[in-house]
């Protein structure tokens, strides 16, 4: 079957798979000692290496496309950061990518765009850095935005258990192309055919499964608890890091994902949402901000015209927005 953005999808999937391999290799090196010292160096290395892998692939396949990525190499180029740069080089070597320090920084900085344009990619090389460091969920998130709308999204979730037909082995990918649905792929078996995913049909709020951040600084747990009470939701919220939350809503394991502002001055970043939004929309779900507006990807790095992000299977959306309004969150 041929679809639109076929080449883009193939390139994005391959790039995200390679980035996931690098990230898993770095995550495996995290020892209890590193964790205890609250040493962020593993995520630093993996963030840069992942962005280098993906941006290198995009530069090769789509040299004219700008990339708005989370990271840039400015800090990495400081003399005292040489050990990190060396480790990034080593990790890239393990997946068969050889580059000089200058080339590596050049790949990373391919993601240094910050202005909106008609066609651009946005990349979060590691989304959910706290989850990554805890050895838990994180994602590599890549989306192509054309005329302000996500048209292609790929989420790599290296630690998220696969669903049918791969039976719980860890590591899956999600992809979506606008108008063509959303699919999941095995991370392990790159020859396996994808399987389409679909949101749940839950329409009774009381039986809904909610998911939210592990980190209470990223989404107000107090407000989601109030919402759950109002809607008579008795099940505990599922807490996981990263855009894996969009993935579990897309495949119907959770019915909603709430990202409720914890402070006035934080604007959500486009790379934290673009890929996940398209995966959920194409799986049949609904995504808006607290005011019921679509997310607006036309303002550079930030979703500065939106507040909060509400993701549901669709049937639950209006009840969630209304109730949030009623408890004074919207």
Ligand X SMILES: Nc1ncnc2c1ncn2[C@@H]1O[C@H](COP(=O)(O)O)[C@@H](O)[C@H]1OP(=O)(O)O
Catalytic residues: 47, 129
Using the rule CB under 6 A, is 217 a contact of ligand X? yes
User: How near is the Cβ of 215 to Mg ion at its closest, in Å?
Assistant: 11
- Using CB under 6 A, pick the residue from 218, 221, 251, 307 that binds ligand X: 218
- Residues 197 to 216 in contact with ligand X, rule: CB under 6 A: 213-215
**Cis bond upstream, residue 165 (ω within 30):** yes
Q: Which does 215 bind (CB under 5 to 8 A by kind): Mg ion, ligand X, none?
A: ligand X
Q: Nearer Cβ to ligand X, position 9 or 140?
A: 140
Using the rule CB under 5 A, is 136 a contact of Mg ion? no
CA–CA separation, 12 vs 67, rounded Å? 13
User: How near is the Cβ of 229 to Mg ion at its closest, in Å?
Assistant: 29
Using the rule CB under 6 A, is 289 a contact of ligand X? no
Q: Nearer Cβ to ligand X, position 190 or 216?
A: 216
- Using CB under 6 A, pick the residue from 113, 224, 242, 306 that binds ligand X: 242
What is the CB-side half-sphere exposure of residue 146 using CA atoms within 13 A? 10
Q: Nearer Cβ to Mg ion, position 21 or 124?
A: 124
Q: Nearer Cβ to ligand X, position 73 or 186?
A: 73
Q: Nearer Cβ to Mg ion, position 48 or 185?
A: 48
User: How near is the Cβ of 213 to ligand X at its closest, in Å?
Assistant: 3
Using the rule CB under 6 A, is 272 a contact of ligand X? yes
Annotated binding site for Mg(2+): 70, 124, 126-127, 272
Using the rule CB under 6 A, is 50 a contact of ligand X? no
Q: Nearer Cβ to ligand X, position 51 or 186?
A: 51
Q: Which does 202 bind (CB under 5 to 8 A by kind): ligand X, Mg ion, none?
A: none
Using the rule CB under 6 A, is 128 a contact of ligand X? yes
HEC string of the chain equals: CCCCCHHHHHHHHHHHHHHHHHHHHHHHCCCHHHHHCCCCHHHHHHHHHHHHHHHHHHHHHCCCCCEEECCCCCHHHCHHHHHHHHHHHHHHHHCCCCCCHHHHHHHHHCCECCCCCCEEEEEEEEECHHHHHHCCCCEEEEEEEECCEEEEEEEEEEEEECCCCCCCCEEEEEEEECCCCEEEEECCCCCCCCEEECCCCCCCHHHCCEEECCCCCCCCHHHHHHHHHHCCCCCCCEECCCCHHHHHHHCCCCCEEEECCCCCCCCCEHHHCHHHHHHHHHCCCEEECCCCCCCCCCCCCECCCCCCEEEECCCCHHHHHHHHHHCCCC
x/- mask, Mg ion, residues 256-275, rule CB under 5 A, reads: ----------------x---
Annotated binding site: 70, 124, 126-127, 272
Count of chain residues binding ligand X (CB under 6 A): 14
CA–CA separation, 265 vs 234, rounded Å? 32
Q: Which does 283 bind (CB under 5 to 8 A by kind): ligand X, Mg ion, none?
A: none
Sheet holding 309-312, edge to edge: 238-239, 210-212, 256-259, 309-312, 286-288
User: How near is the Cβ of 93 to ligand X at its closest, in Å?
Assistant: 25
Residues that bind Mg ion (CB under 5 A): 70, 124, 126-127, 272
Residues that bind ligand X (CB under 6 A): 124, 127-129, 131, 213-215, 217-218, 241-242, 266, 272
């Amino acid at each position: 079957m041929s679809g639109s953005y076929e080449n883009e999808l193939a390139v994005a999937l391959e790039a995200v798979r390679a980035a996931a391999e690098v990230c898993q290799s770095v995550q495996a090196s995290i020892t209890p000692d590193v964790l205890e010292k609250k040493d962020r160096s593993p995520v630093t290395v993996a963030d840069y290496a992942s962005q280098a892998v993906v941006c290198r692939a995009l530069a090769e396949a789509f040299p004219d496309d700008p990339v708005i990525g989370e990271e840039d190499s400015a800090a990495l180029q400081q003399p005292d950061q040489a050990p990190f740069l060396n480790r990034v080089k080593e990790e890239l070597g393990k997946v068969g990518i050889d580059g000089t320090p200058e080339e590596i920084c050049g790949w990373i900085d391919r993601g240094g765009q910050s202005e909106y344009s008609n066609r651009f990619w946005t990349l979060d090389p590691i989304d959910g850095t706290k989850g990554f460091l805890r050895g838990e969920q994180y994602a590599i998130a890549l989306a192509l935005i054309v005329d302000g709308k996500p048209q292609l999204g790929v989420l790599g979730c290296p630690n998220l258990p696969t669903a049918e037909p791969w039976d719980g082995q860890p590591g899956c990918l999600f992809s979506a192309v606008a108008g063509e649905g959303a699919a999941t792929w095995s991370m392990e078996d790159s020859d396996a055919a994808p399987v389409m995913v679909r949101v749940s049909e839950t329409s009774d709020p009381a039986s809904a499964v909610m998911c939210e951040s592990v980190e209470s600084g990223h989404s107000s747990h107090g407000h989601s608890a109030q919402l759950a009470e109002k809607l008579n939701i008795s099940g505990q919220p599922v807490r996981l890091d990263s855009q894996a939350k969009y993935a579990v809503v897309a495949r119907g394991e959770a019915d909603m994902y709430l990202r409720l502002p914890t402070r006035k001055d934080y604007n959500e970043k486009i790379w934290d949402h673009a890929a996940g939004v398209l995966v959920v929309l194409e799986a049949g779900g609904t995504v808006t901000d607290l005011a019921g507006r679509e997310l607006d990807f036309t303002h550079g790095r930030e979703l500065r015209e939106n507040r909060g992000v509400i993701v549901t299977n669709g049937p639950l959306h209006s009840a969630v927005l209304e109730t949030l309004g009623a408890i004074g969150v919207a």
